[in-house]
Amino acid sequence: MVPVTYYLTLSALMFTLGIVGVVIRRNAIVVFMCIELMLNAVNLSFVALSRLVGNLDGQIAVFFVMVVAAAEAAVGLAIIISLFRSAKSVETSDANQLNG
């Protein structure tokens, strides 16, 4: 059996990759994908930890997180499309109309 720590390490790595992606990428869709990666890393943690502590709460939480991630995808892409209509770009560096 694969030990739980392996899953937790993988999940921490995925989460870190997600953070790095959000920080260094400028394309709104890629940034958004990185956020989804972070959510899925958390899901993996939840499932692995659920195994570790021996109750099912963590696995139930995953269902909720999946619903949230799906809703976020819908809302996020809609917002990106609405910006694309006016700015003709999905680069976050082109979202520069609001600067004090």
- What are the residues binding other proteins (CB under 8 A)? 8, 15, 18-19, 22, 28, 31-32, 35, 38-39, 41-42, 45-46, 49-50, 52-55, 57-58, 60-61, 64-65, 68, 71-72, 75-76, 78-80, 82-83, 85-87, 92, 95, 97-100
Of 2 and 100, the one with the shorter C-beta distance to other proteins is: 100
In three-state secondary structure terms, 100 is coil
Distance, CA of 87 to CA of 84 (rounded, Å): 5
Q: Cβ distance 18 to 34 under 8 Å? A: yes
The sign of the dihedral angle between the CA atoms of 41, 44, 46, 52 is: negative
Rounded least distance, CB 42 to other proteins, Å: 5
